[in-house]
Amino acid sequence: MCLNNCYIKQKNHIIVFNKKEELKNHLSTLSKNNTIGFIPTMGSLHEGHLSLINRSNSDCDISICSIFINPTQFNDKADYLNYPKDTKNDLNLLKQVECDIIYMPEITDIYTKNQTIKKYNLSGLDLFLEGKYRPDHFNGMVSVVEKLFQIIEPDYAYFGEKDLQQLYIIKELVKDKNINTTIIGCPTIRERNGLAKSSRNKLLSKDDLGYCSIIYQQLILCKESFEDTPFTELKKNIEEKLTKEDRIKIEYLEFVDIKTFKPQQKFNIKTKYALCIAVNISGVRLIDNIIL
């Protein structure tokens, strides 16, 4: 953090920008000694997002949060249209955690008319899991993150480990494009029953929300035994447990090498693993993982 001409936070005061040029002009007036932390979101904020802003506040002089539901990372139009929105509550929460600046652009401020999304070299990290089941999702996500980095030029950017594959892909983007931003991964924040915090949790019924505790329970059991039990056996056990009531549909369930996100079939002491899962429950898609 800077020692001279530091940005002075004002309690419950937040500046909102809808135009990138206005935001860039404002940032140009601030001291170059200030460090900027950035948290990109799609809104409908929860404790997971707020934990990222709190981390930024502790690391940086200025914290900036963007709220933009990015259409190019949705391969399902209905999912895009149904994505939860609660701007008034988002602004109140951001004031409470003393975020300094919010960038809430319209689509036209991010993308030009008829703009095509370029293909990125993501070193194969996008070929599995989310990349396999959501075609072009990562190209769309990386496209908007790169644009946001160009606008804000943050020193640090914060991403939750719940979206573990996304976190590693953003690190690859920064490396490949020589972007001068340090990417910080932060622990997954969970509901009381262990379900990973997600904006989509708001779409679940109270009954389904409670039932979803079984997902984290199974991830924990795997963490305790993955070195001694064949991956195929562990996967079979989880699948049987999760689908017992026929309300959860498993999209993928994979042990992956955390460096490549390529699915693995057996344990190797030299490999760092994560167990990643995506399910649908009552039409709501949820993802989670545990680093093993």
Cα separation, 261 vs 129, whole angstroms: 8
Number of H helices, E strands in the chain: 11, 9
Cα separation, 144 vs 137, whole angstroms: 11
49 is catalytic: yes
Angle among Cα 145, 154, 18 to the nearest 5 degrees reads 65
**Cα distances (Å, whole numbers) of residue 105 to 23, 91, 209, 262, 263:** 10, 14, 32, 35, 37
The single residue of 13, 26, 46, 49 carrying the catalytic annotation is: 49
The type of residue at 258 is I
Cα separation, 126 vs 159, whole angstroms: 17
Q: Cβ distance 285 to 278 under 8 Å?
A: yes
- Span between the terminal Cα atoms of the chain, in Å: 33
Which residues form the catalytic set? 49
